[in-house]
Amino acid sequence: MENISVYTVEKSEIKILHTGDTHLGSRQYHSDIRRRDFFDSFEKVIQDAVENEMDAVIHTGDLFDNRNPTIEDLIDTIAILTPLKKAGIPFLGIVGNHEGKQNTQWLDIFQTMGLAKRLGNTPVVVENLHSQIRFYGIDNLSGPRLAAFDFSIFEADPKCGGEGKMIYNILTLHQLLDPVLPGQPLSCDDFTCSIPIQFNAVLLGDNHKYECIKHNGAWLTYPGSTERCSAAEVEPRAYNILTFDGTEISITRRTIPTRDFVTIPIASDESGEIKIDEIYSKIDSYSEKINGAVVFVELSGIKKTLIPISEIEEYVKNKGAVVARVGDKRDLEKDDSDKIKQITFRDPDEVVTQELKRLNLTEAGLLLDSIIRDSDTSKTNVADVSEDSLREYLNGHEFKEEFRRDSIYLYDPDFESNGFESTGFELDDFESNESDISDLNLIEDEYGIDNEIDNEIDSADTINVAEVIEQIRHAQEGETEAETEMIDSSQDSVVSAKHEYELKNKAKSETQSETFNEAKIETKGETEIETKIETKKEKAKEKPHSPPRQYTLGDMFGSEDEE
């Protein structure tokens, strides 16, 4: 019996306590007192198990109200389970829909601490001299997970021994199942008929009301929740006790004392009038029941007057109620029973589905929709299930394709189609070589050839960079020759102007001083012109005569490599 846990009992009878749906950590009605109530009820169950020397406690799911209990919730739970461990009573459980996590479950953590044992396809055995009980378990399964579940992991003969003993096979589930709950989409047969084991009983969780029937020779039972999770749960809370004596299984119940829920009905008269004094008077008549209870005041009849809801709730709390709620169920007008009202409703799922098609959601969006509308996912777990599912979805997709913004690339499709390779030239590279581009701009500005080159490039079928550079060089040489001719011409003009001035100066030596001053200014201006021309000529002579540079594509496109 390797890897099979076996608990031996010395008594002639084996007694198993069956509970579930404890929903620890629930702050019902946002009340810390109600949170404590849920722990107190569970603690009473465990105390009963120890005091009555139960041989095992079976918990069929929803130990916690949500998948992320607080540290305080965990500490309180450990404190409750510890006496069970000290008494040597195994706590065997499965995972419900409220507490279910993606991978490691809270039961797994408690198992490492020796406080619990998580049931699965390998049986956990409790036996005595006459009987052997094999417990199996399946965590809560929603529709998709149920379809993918592999029932073949269960073995028909687990080799647990038990020769000569009465063998009991017990399956634990956390599902709402037909025929125990008639009309449910899933049946208990969907599970038991898929497993090659003949079960004597199926211990169930998820339904908060006690149910017990016999189906195809096996007991099917829900123990109900240990605390009231809504005002509709009016039955006393309880748990089951299963007794195994080597013959038939017997199932009995034991109630749990819990906080009272009190409902105070108040109806209006035929005219629809409800006086506030009459409401307070009716509440006063329940004074003995209100103290320490969860109280609901339900208004019914015809709605013709406004009722101060908050004032009534405060009045009930002052009477000693732990929680006070007022429900206004009055109709706006009198119901005419003689008239037949025909009301039709569209299928909500169909309406939502049509709207989703119109929105054209992505796969991730559709995944979120399926989680939100999944009835098997509790409201308290929607956010966590969505987060885990999206993370799994993203991990299953590889986003390797690189997307480049066209606006940061200088790319000409005609450039490649004419036999030139793309340079991969980026705007950042362009800006990092401003000195090269400034040199090119100076050549264009100084010699006025930018328009000429642009026109040449626009009209050419094929861009020849060498030809463009050659044009720049020829233009530069042409401008140098033109500059030399201009200097020679300017020098001749100055000599001629000087000779003419000397003649005029002699002819007008007797002229007025004003005329002489004007001539003096003119001479000064001509002297400045002559000086500028001489300076420019000297610079032209000093200019080295080197062979023209051979330009490359790197010079044109800002390469960092220097020749």
Q: What residues are designated binding site for Mn(2+)?
A: 21, 23, 62, 97, 174, 208
Spatial CA neighbour of 263 closest among 226, 299, 224: 299
Residues 13 and 129: their CA atoms lie apart, in Å, by 10
Extract the tokens encoding 81: 């389970």
Residues 419 and 423: their CA atoms lie apart, in Å, by 12
User: What is the amino acid identity at position 333?
Assistant: E
User: What is the amino acid identity at position 124?
Assistant: V
Spatial CA neighbour of 94 closest among 125, 121, 126, 76: 121
Q: What is the DSSP letter of 138?
A: E
The reply to whether 215 belongs to the active site is no
- In 199-334, DSSP assigns E strands to 201-205, 211-215, 218-222, 238-244, 249-255, 261-267, 294-300, 323-328
DSSP H or E stretch at residue 170: strand 166-174
Please, what is the end-to-end C-alpha distance for the chain in angstroms? 83
Spatial CA neighbour of 77 closest among 144, 154, 23, 131: 23
Catalytic residue among 18, 30, 98, 474: 98
> How does DSSP assign 100-134, residue by residue?
--SSS-HHHHHHHTTS-EE--SS-EEEE-SSEEEE
Can you tell me which residue has the tokens 């000693």?
A: 320
Spatial CA neighbour of 201 closest among 50, 58, 9: 58
- Kindly list the catalytic residues: 98
